[in-house]
Amino acid sequence: MIYFLTDKKIPNYKDSTIPYTYNSDTRNLELLETCYPFWILHNAGIKDIKLITNYNIPSAGDTVIFYNSSSNNIKLNEQYKNIQIVTDTPLIEGCDGYVCYDPSIICRDVKHRWFHVMYPMPIDLKRCTPRWPPKIISCISPKSITLDSNIKKSKYRIVTDSWSNGGDEDIMFHIRQQITYIPSKGLKSRMRFPSHKTPNRLYQSWYCNVPGIFSSSTSMDWIRKSDLDFLEANSLDELNECVNRLMNDKGLYNSMIENCRTRQDENTHEEIALQWQLVFDTV
């Protein structure tokens, strides 16, 4: 039996999407780490899986998928096959496997047994029909926590109370605040090596068919195939330069839209279910 451990059960997204939409309580995001993939697998017809809130329920030999949330304090039961979903919370040594959202980690950290699984995209994303010249230049950044401070003062639209887009975007962007690794904090620092950021803003750009401008990451670089996948900017000046390029180059703008349409279905529930099944078959 395979168990997905959560602090609190949330309903199947087919029955209610409310828990899968933006909530200012960060614990809601933590619940999605195991509940969202569980329901994706359940809806895909995967058998012998169960959502639980008590780590003591499984029996010896069972597999337990867990996320090291801010509220739990797991002491590993070595009779289980423990698999930790690792984002920006501390990695717990001694697990049988670790799930990452950044595929580059598999090559960058050979000490641990990593599996790459895509992070599901927001439940209510909307496909767009962007037009040139672009007018609506938008950034989705809940609470603006990770957004570069200079970008917050820019003239562009910044959505701070949603994980999803409005459906009217012509350009999507996000310029992440530069974070310095602090060696003295080691693995316990929040943004320790390896970074576990997802490439989902890029997947969202493709899904929505909207050209994207982003500060790159190892996860984005891993899935990047051409210059049309996204334009790269790491400051407000560089963002303005990229926006001007798209405003003045219709050919580039339309080519990026066509590229989005080519790659729009790379992050799907079906593909995520296949990735999780590979984890189960391997462990």
| Cis peptide bond upstream of 194, omega within 30 | yes
Give pLDDT, residue 191: 45
Give pLDDT, residue 195: 57
pLDDT tens for each residue of the chain, 283 residues long: 999 999 999 999 999 999 999 987 778 889 999 999 999 999 999 999 999 999 999 999 999 999 987 666 788 999 999 999 998 778 899 999 999 999 999 988 899 999 999 999 999 999 999 999 999 999 998 877 778 888 887 899 999 999 999 999 999 999 987 655 455 555 444 444 445 789 999 999 999 999 999 998 889 999 999 999 999 999 999 999 999 999 999 999 999 999 999 999 999 999 999 999 999 999 8
Give pLDDT, residue 23: 84
Give pLDDT, residue 194: 46
- Cα–Cα distances in Å, from 14 out to 117, 146, 206? 21, 30, 24
Q: Is the pTM of this model over 0.85?
A: yes
The CA distance from 133 to 246, in Å, is 8
Give pLDDT, residue 197: 82
As given in the structure block, the two tokens for residue 260 are 């989005």
One DSSP character per residue, the chain reads -EEEE-SS----TTT--GGGS--S-HHHHHHHHHHHHHHHHHHTT--SEEEES-TTSS-TT-EEEEE--SS------TTSEEEEE-SSSPPPTT-SEEEES-TTHHHH--SS-EEE-PPPPPTT-------SSP--EEEE-GGGSSB-TTGGGSSSEEE-S-SS--S--SEEEE-BPP----GGGGGGSTTPSSP----HHHHHHHHHT--EEE---HHHHHH--STTS-EE-SSHHHHHHHHHHHHH-HHHHHHHHHHHHHHTTSS-HHHHHHHHHHHHHH-
